[in-house]
C-alpha cells in the first residue's frame, strides 16, 4: 500500500512531467523507464533546459514527480542520483513540491543566498549525489 501511495501522492506532478515527456518524444526525444521513473532525453524540453530556467540558468535535468527530463542520455546518467533525490522529495511532499521548491528559492534569495544553489531541496539533492558518488568510490 505504501508503494502505491508513493506514486499516487505526487501523481499530478507526474502527469505534468508525462506531458513534457510526450512533447519531448514528439519532437525527437527518447525515453526509458529506470527503477520506476520515466527518464526522457532530448526534444523540445531539452532545448528549454539548455536555454535556462528562472533562478537557475541552464540545467542538465529537471524532475516532475516520477518523470525526469534531461538534455541528453549522458545527462540522465550523470544526474541520476541527484534527480532520484528530487523523486524522493516528490514522494515525500507530493504536488506541494511544485510550490515548496520555488518558495525555498525565494527564501534562499531573501537570506542573501543564491536561489538555486542555496535552495533547501537542491542542497538535499547534492548531498544525495555526494553520498552516491562516495559509495561508488568505496566499491571500486
Q: What is the pLDDT of residues 5-25, one digit of tens each?
A: 899 999 999 999 999 999 999
Average pLDDT over residues 25-51: 96
Rounded to whole angstroms, the Cα distance separating 118 from 104 reads: 9
The cell numbers describing 71, all together, are 538534455
Q: What is the pLDDT of residues 52-99, one digit of tens each?
A: 887 788 999 999 999 999 999 999 999 999 999 999 999 999 999 999
- The C-alpha cell 506541494 sits at 96
> Which sign does the torsion angle of CA 12, 14, 17, 23 carry?
negative
Mean pLDDT check: name the lowest of 26-35, 48-57, 87-96, 113-122. Answer: 48-57
What is the pTM assigned to this prediction? 0.91
Distances (CA, A) of 93 to 4, 62, 89: 15, 16, 6
Rounded to whole angstroms, the Cα distance separating 61 from 118 reads: 18
pLDDT band at 138 (very low <50, low <70, confident <90, very high): low
Q: What pLDDT sits at residue 137?
A: 60
Amino acid at each position: 500500500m505504501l508503494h502505491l501511495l508513493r506514486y499516487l501522492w505526487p501523481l499530478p506532478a507526474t502527469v505534468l512531467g508525462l506531458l513534457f515527456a510526450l512533447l519531448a518524444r514528439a519532437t525527437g526525444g527518447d525515453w526509458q523507464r529506470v527503477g520506476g521513473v520515466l527518464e526522457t532525453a532530448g526534444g523540445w524540453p531539452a532545448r528549454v533546459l539548455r536555454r535556462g530556467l528562472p533562478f537557475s540558468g541552464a540545467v542538465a535535468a529537471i524532475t516532475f514527480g516520477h518523470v525526469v527530463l534531461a538534455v541528453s542520455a549522458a545527462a540522465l546518467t550523470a544526474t541520476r542520483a541527484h534527480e532520484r533525490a528530487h523523486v524522493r522529495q516528490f514522494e515525500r511532499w507530493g504536488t506541494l513540491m511544485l510550490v515548496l521548491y520555488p518558495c525555498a528559492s525565494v527564501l534562499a534569495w531573501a537570506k542573501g543566498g543564491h536561489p538555486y544553489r542555496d535552495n533547501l531541496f537542491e542542497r538535499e539533492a547534492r548531498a544525495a549525489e555526494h553520498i552516491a558518488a562516495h559509495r561508488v568510490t568505496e566499491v571500486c
